[in-house]
Structure 1
Amino acid sequence: MAQAEAAALRRRVEELLKSNQELVKSNDLLSEQLRLAKQESDPPNMTPPPSRAGKVNELRAIRKRPHERARNQHLSASALAELEVWTSAADISAEDPALVSSEAPPAKPKPKEQVKRIVAALSKKAPFDTFEEAQLNSIADAMTPLQAKAQAVLVTEGDQGQHCYLLDSGELCVKVKGVEKDRIRAGQIFGELALMYNVPRTATIEVVSDASLFVLDRLAFRRTIRLDTVTRRREIFFFLRTCKTFDALDDRAIYRVADVVVEQTFDEGAMIIKEGTECNDDPCMYFLKEGSVVVKQAIPEENRDSSGKTERLVGILKSGDYFGERALITQEPRSCSIEAVSPTICLRVDRDAFKCMLDPLHEEMKKAMPVDSSPTWLKKSGKGDGASLSAKDASQSVRQYSPAKTNIAILKPLGSGGFARVLLAKDSATRRLFAMKVIHKSKLLERKADTRTAQILSEKLALSTFSHPFITGLHAHYQDSKYLYLLIELALGGDLFGLMDRHGLMSEPMARFYVSSLALALEHLHLLEFVYRDLKPENVLLDSRGFVKLCDFGFAKKLTLDRTYSQCGTPDYVAPEMLNGQGVNHGCDWWALGVMIFEMIVGNPAFTDMSGDTMKTFSNILKGDLQFPRETTFSASCKALVAGMLSVNLASRLGYAYGGANSVLSHAWFEDVDWDRLVNCYIEPPWRPKLMSATDTSHFELEEGASNFGEDDELTPQDEKTWEHVWKAWGSSEGTEGATEATFALPTTAA
């Protein structure tokens, strides 16, 4: 009987949650933004975090990750050449049209007291505890009521989860492998990890006494948060666009300003600014969005007339005006009082945000001026200017050498992934060695074909665009009837994660070498309007001399809007704006680099909960809970750099705030870096791989099956026709379009 009730209950849950798929028309203001978001071709994927049950040495705090290779499924492939990191457990259905729809999840009407209880419970639990009250109210509206009878099973251990629950009344039992471990009582939330991505449930939840719950599914959660974020930012954007102050800024610059402002409401009669107060007491300025304010100034006693007035009216401000900036610029006390004469809404800009975004408005106009087109790594730049590249520089740099495909010989396998292999290849004409990524067409189309094909084309675009000493170069691309090929620069020194695993904790000078190289690589990407989105040690190669080569551009995306909303990356390194659904831009890459600096010196990522609690890791990220361990000595400049990169407030994050990459490259921690010598690879790396020959691949682990291509299936005529546009878009560096006959002899037995 209990089983029948449980089955009926599960069916009822699905029926109720399906109603969340119904659409309600939202305002026209958002439709174009979300239509564009729907066109994004991002891979909707976040690599699931491994269990953090590894032991940590108390003194060295080195993270032990023997499971890391299992998580990535392709250590050498990740290091060598952009193999996929997709796992079915990580899919978060971001490709679902409903997620990027311009329509909001339907609200579930609830009494005010009920909504108040839901919001109160949400505000105490990660990840909801970082959301504003308006967002929590929207989430509460999207939750579905559910009644459950005693002995019913709500969650089954091992099942894939996609729902979060709030127990409103009753009692639940938590069982692991059939043994009771805990009880859940009214007001408690469980299953919230499922809102981030698909993971197997770690326990079974049974109903002890008749229970009343509220259920939130992942799709409704993400759509609610995204819609709220996009709505708010576009409202602010259109308001700022009407302000004459910002006439000189382009849309992207105004979106950056929208990132730094905070909406604040004042009642009629409220004193917003009081004359004479020190600026440091409330260091901010305001833009008047709605309502009216009066500007008043005290009349000196010797100048007062018989009327007895102590203040004089200086002016009346209306929507679009701003005030309070003088004190921020001069650091003087407030020179006048500002009083609301009607209900007023202002956009508040704090001092740090002002310095980052508003103080240098005139610099935005300078950016439109022509720049020197010679590649920066060939010219003297002076210490501190970071050998900055420009998009024009990169576009005019010399093309990579492109071998004829008839001259390419396959030597041996290097790695493998789901639908691709990486092989060691040689150009017989020059005897140069390369890494060749081979993508099997039919395997590529086995699942999520639209997303996968978009990903590989995006990857090829990124590799074709970049030209930098610290980024793996693309030398050629080919195809035949069965495969797509990328001929990529070879780096046989392994990856940075492998070096960290062997070497242990790094000194600051050693870490500085790798970080400064990566900072230059990121600067190059960002100037070309790409965002990388998956920076981690596993994606940083080392060449035969020990220099950095950033690789694996499967998640790299050229930003057509000011940010992208797809979920991807590796949880230990993702920025808070990725987790809370607010969308990401270049700032997420500087966040990840800050996490990596911490990891190089301490031994584990900055926010990882070493007990294995993934939600605690996410909570630490969302709150920016950065703790420098006492047993590890950080220099003051290193602490300042890491803290600046790991600012939850995007507006003040180093690398994204005013100054861009130069705010990182000119930081005190890099004072002794000779950027010219570094970018020209004249500096001796702190570690050089020991290679027995030019084809020594001992720094990579060959995975099982990587040496055998097996009997790969041919494309069906239907697939060939359906996806013809992809094969044509891929083309060939030799100018041929579409598929040609097979060219390369691929290995079929173990090497």
Structure 2
Amino acid sequence: MGSCLRTSSRPRVIINDNEGQEISEANTKTSRKFKQSMPDPRLSKDTKVPTDAKFAIVQDKSKSKADISFINVSLTKHFIFNSLTEEQRESVINHMKYYILEPREIVFEQNSVGSTFFVIAHGKLEVIIDEKRVNVLRPQDSFGELALIHDTPRSATLKTIENSSLWGVDRKTFRNTLEQINALNYAENHGLIESIPVFKILNNTQIESLISSIATNMYGQGQVIVNEGETGDLLFIIKQGSVVCSQEGKDIKTMEKGDYFGEQALLYNSVRTATITAAENTKCLTIGRTELTKLFGTSLQLIIHKNSQRIAFDKNVYLKKLTKTQFEKLLNCSEIKELSEGEKVIFAGTRKGDNVVVVIKGELTTLDEEIVYKVFDIIGLDEAIQALDDVFENDYYAKGDVNLAIIPNISFFNAIGGDYHKVTTNNDAIKLLKKIPLFRYLSEEQFESLIQCLRVENFKNETIIFSQNQPGESLFLIKSGRVEVIDKDTNRVLRNITKDDYFGERSLLFDKFRSATIKAKGEVTCWVLYKSDFMSILDEKLKKLLMKRIELQDDNLNLNDFHIVNQIGTGTFGNVFLVIHKQKKSLYALKAVNKKKIRAYEMEDNLLLERKILLQIDHVLISKLIKTFKDDKRVYFLLEYIRGMNLFNVLRKLDVLTVADAKFYTACIFLMLEHLHERDIIYRDLHPMNIMIDDEGYPKLIDFGAAKIIKGRTYTIAGIPPHYMAPEIITGHGYTLSADYWSAGIMLYEFLYAAVPFGEEENDPYVVYEMIQQGKLVFPTNADNKDKIKDLLVQLLSKNPATRLGGSFENLKAHHWFIGINWEKIVRRELPTPYVPILSTILHDAETALKQRKPLDEVITKAEKHDEIPKPRPIKEGFNVNWDEEFKG
């Protein structure tokens, strides 16, 4: 089946089994239990109305020191609060309200939806499960902590035995309190990090990772922080308080909030040049050299050198024309040279073009101290590119400490791939080709072959490049100039196409007649690729893939072009149908969401976000949105139809995967995440139920109901099952894209050992969350560390989110365990797959649908007949009644 629809709680998943039967996940026997799901994140926060202590008298009572201490002791029993700082816990306690209840009053009932956590201040309460008392709670006992995470139904009834009072905090207050404190703390830490010169060269992603790795330490008055003469590897930033610096027992200066010391320790194992002592109670942020190396996959010094070169390259008119691969090759072939004040750097008479030299730190001067070259200047590049014999007329010297990146002439041209002018001309063509979805799946070698096939053609003003209804046989890439697209029947100009755009791509694969006339307006130069040349570099498998992908780009479709074959998915918010195009006979998945439900659940913004996200995604391993529609009753998502089996069920059939199979599925998952994260999309719902294995055995990521576009951090609890949830989501401290890597790590562990690492035998979400927070990663006794697989799992399942990626996706893909994986062949679907589902034919159903021609609305209305739709809520002021305009087909 294929859909982007998720269901709430334990989803009923219908699949095509070997015999073509419909199988419900709930009634299949398997050692692989699918873990309890979270409530769907698209449910409005007010959809389920909490009924906690509804007859209690609630007061905003001030708390004495004794009250605060009393509550604090109770909170320390729960991992949710143990992970909080003293400041956070104090703020949560200050927000707790006082509940007064009489005897025999119900606080909440079993299976009700709750949102409040309680600590008993006075009195006694009984715990009742299935109408039987199982426990009695007394002062300082607490209950309902899971409600602070999500809407899980209460597992018991709580009733007062005598007059009782409780301290309580609801989920919204708890989460908002943490978010406000964490957001302020994050902003302050961000500012402190950016103020330190050694970090100014880091990019936003690197700074974000750095902030996630900061440790906070408290020092009492008079406590020595570092000792003169010791070797250190920590940088300290004063966040609160002050310190005294002394040398040989003599005080030199005092440093306060925002000051820092020990920065050289991050670059070198340097000796401390002073003793630092806390002058009062002092809070310091600390960053370790070893931690940074784990974080970035290399030393901070190398990161700074490479970032400096990147900035210089980006500023240079020549080098900005290079590709990312050429950039990286230049960085990797450069040699770093460190020079001291006054040291001679360049000798008079040396040929300028012998080396390309990048100034990445300091300045170069003449003998009379005239500054000639500054940081980020590039020396010798013009001469190397133009093959000039110019020489330096003067000697040049280092002013202060100077770092240079030196690239020998021959290394420069080897790195970029030959003659600069020819290479960059090809780069322009390749850049344009890569914009065309049709070419996304070509290998580097195929791109090189493609470039050799391009022919440059010039067209004079008013030249007809081709005419409407003429057979198409070529693609045109505009190198310079402008063309008009004209409807020949009406002689109307439909649009203009200019430099760095293209036209005619569909003619490379399909025997199509031109749909419009193209006329040159002014002088026009194009690269032209002919169909015969293009076909000569494709094999049949790639040709088939490209034809399928380009068909998914066809947005000339209307809702009335389809007949429904059958229903293939159902959920809380909508239904998914297999539909067939009346003329093309192509199959698609159509998700229909009733507008009454949308209004009742206030889902308008969620659906707009889901649409926005899906339109940004175009990857062979991810379900593709083709188009959206709307009518008076519903909004619709027309999706790629994925015929296959759910990965959950495939794992059940395969039981324990071979290492090769685990490697294949994991590599596919990382390619999915790479595509999403490059677009700032966090998926937040990664587990086997949300991956389909298609009819060729390749995985496809489905269901983007929990996805979100983020820059920085988010605090929302998403709909992922407990066993796959990252620890930072649970505790409410804020999380980033790296939460997805945790889920990928859980799946990798599951692939290898047929169990999840935390709470395999547990169904109680709270217990699972607690085990995740403890983070005790245990491997089976027969597990080895071949190819450093344990190291990879430890990295992905690190409680420090910033270290999971290992610096970059390139570093992750280069991990020793992935040696032998051809990442390009996965994208081109050229590797053998672990399991190909045996699927029953749908030909008969499709033919029946074409014959019966039942109206879409009739079939969908019948499917919605038994839907429960809550009472619509009053429309708030400012509500956009035309919110669905974007869904218009």
Please give the TM-score of this superposition, normalised by the length of structure 1: 0.73
Which of 268, 276, 285 in structure 1 is aligned with 2:235?
A: 285
Residue matched to 2:442? 378
CA distance in 1, matches of 2:445, 2:746: 28
CA distance in 2, matches of 1:247, 1:639: 35
Structure 1 residue 436 and structure 2 residue 436: aligned? no
Which of 590, 605, 608 in structure 1 is aligned with 2:756?
A: 605
CA distance in 2, matches of 1:455, 1:534: 15
Which of 129, 132, 137 in structure 2 is aligned with 1:176?
A: 129
CA distance in 2, matches of 1:381, 1:205: 68
Residue matched to 1:400? 553
Structure 1 residue 566 and structure 2 residue 716: aligned? yes
Residue matched to 2:669? 518
Letter aligned with residue 641 of structure 1: L
Query: What CA deviation, in whole Å up to 9, does each residue of 1:160-191 have, x standing for no partner?
Result: 22221212344332222232212223332211
Preserved CA contact (<8 Å) 1:537 1:596? yes
TM-fit CA distance, 1:123: 1.4
CA distance in 2, matches of 1:290, 1:191: 36
TM-fit CA distance, 1:478: 2.7
The alignment partner of 1:378 has SS state of coil
Preserved CA contact (<8 Å) 2:121 2:164? yes
TM-fit CA distance, 1:348: 0.9
Residue matched to 1:508? 659
CA distance in 2, matches of 1:493, 1:194: 37
Preserved CA contact (<8 Å) 1:541 1:550? yes
CA distance in 2, matches of 1:536, 1:61: 17
TM-fit CA distance, 1:465: 0.8
Letter aligned with residue 121 of structure 2: D
Q: Judging changes above 3 Å, is the alpha-carbon distance between structure 1 residues 223 and 443 closer, same or farther for their aligned structure 2 residues?
A: closer
Q: Judging changes above 3 Å, is the alpha-carbon distance between structure 1 residues 94 and 678 closer, same or farther for their aligned structure 2 residues?
A: same
TM-fit CA distance, 1:109: 2.4
TM-fit CA distance, 1:140: 1.7
TM-fit CA distance, 1:524: 1.0
CA distance in 2, matches of 1:344, 1:95: 46
Structure 1 residue 473 and structure 2 residue 588: aligned? no
Letter aligned with residue 184 of structure 1: L
Query: What CA deviation, in whole Å up to 9, does each residue of 1:618-648 have, x standing for no partner?
Result: 1122232323233666646222222211111
Matches within 5 A, 1:402-421: 402-405=555-558, 407-421=561-575
TM-fit CA distance, 1:711: 6.2
Q: CA RMSD in A?
A: 4.0
Residue matched to 2:94? 141
Query: What CA deviation, in whole Å up to 9, does each residue of 1:247-301 have, x standing for no partner?
Result: 445666544433222333334433211234454xxx522123455545555xxxx
Structure 1 residue 329 and structure 2 residue 267: aligned? yes
TM-fit CA distance, 1:420: 2.2
CA distance in 1, matches of 2:47, 2:782: 41
Preserved CA contact (<8 Å) 1:531 1:589? yes
TM-fit CA distance, 1:526: 0.6
Residue matched to 1:114? 67
Residue matched to 2:371? none
Q: Judging changes above 3 Å, is the alpha-carbon distance between structure 1 residues 155 and 459 closer, same or farther for their aligned structure 2 residues?
A: closer
Please give the TM-score of this superposition, normalised by the length of structure 2: 0.62
Q: What are structure 2's unaligned runs of at least 5 residues? A: 1-5, 12-24, 50-57, 315-319, 325-430, 447-499, 506-548, 847-858
TM-fit CA distance, 1:427: 3.3
CA distance in 2, matches of 1:62, 1:530: 33
The alignment partner of 1:413 has SS state of strand
Which of 798, 801, 807 in structure 2 is aligned with 1:658?
A: 807
Residue matched to 2:684? 533
Which of 812, 827, 838 in structure 2 is aligned with 1:679?
A: 827
TM-fit CA distance, 1:196: 1.5
Preserved CA contact (<8 Å) 2:59 2:97? no
Preserved CA contact (<8 Å) 2:41 2:717? no
Query: What CA deviation, in whole Å up to 9, does each residue of 1:579-613 have, x standing for no partner?
Result: 11222220111111111112223333332352422
Matches within 5 A, 1:57-456: 62-65=31-34, 85=40, 92-93=45-46, 108-249=61-202, 253-279=206-232, 283-297=233-247, 310=248, 317=255, 319-331=257-269, 334=272, 336-341=274-279, 343-355=281-293, 356=295, 359=301, 360-361=303-304, 363-364=306-307, 366=310, 369=314, 371-372=323-324, 373=431, 374=434, 377-380=441-444, 400-405=553-558, 407-445=561-599, 447-449=600-602, 452-456=603-607
Q: Judging changes above 3 Å, is the alpha-carbon distance between structure 1 residues 611 and 591 closer, same or farther for their aligned structure 2 residues?
A: closer
Give the greater-gyration-radius structure (CA): 2
Higher strand share: 2
Q: Judging changes above 3 Å, is the alpha-carbon distance between structure 1 residues 361 and 94 closer, same or farther for their aligned structure 2 residues?
A: farther
Which of 552, 564, 568 in structure 1 is aligned with 2:703?
A: 552
Query: What CA deviation, in whole Å up to 9, does each residue of 1:382-433 have, x standing for no partner?
Result: 9xxxxxxxxx99xx99882335325434322211223322222233444332
Q: What are structure 1's unaligned runs of at least 5 residues? A: 1-44, 73-83, 97-104, 298-309, 383-391, 699-704, 733-751
TM-fit CA distance, 1:550: 1.0
Structure 1 residue 709 and structure 2 residue 857: aligned? no
Letter aligned with residue 487 of structure 1: L
CA distance in 2, matches of 1:444, 1:364: 47
Preserved CA contact (<8 Å) 1:291 1:342? yes
Aligned residues: 615
Which deviates further from its counterpart, 228-237 or 107-116?
107-116
Which deviates further from its counterpart, 487-496 or 310-319?
310-319
Which of 453, 463, 476 in structure 1 is aligned with 2:614?
A: 463
Residue matched to 1:588? 739
Which deviates further from its counterpart, 663-672 or 521-530?
663-672
- Among all aligned residue pairs of Structure 1 and Structure 2, give the percentage whose two residues are the same amino acid: 26
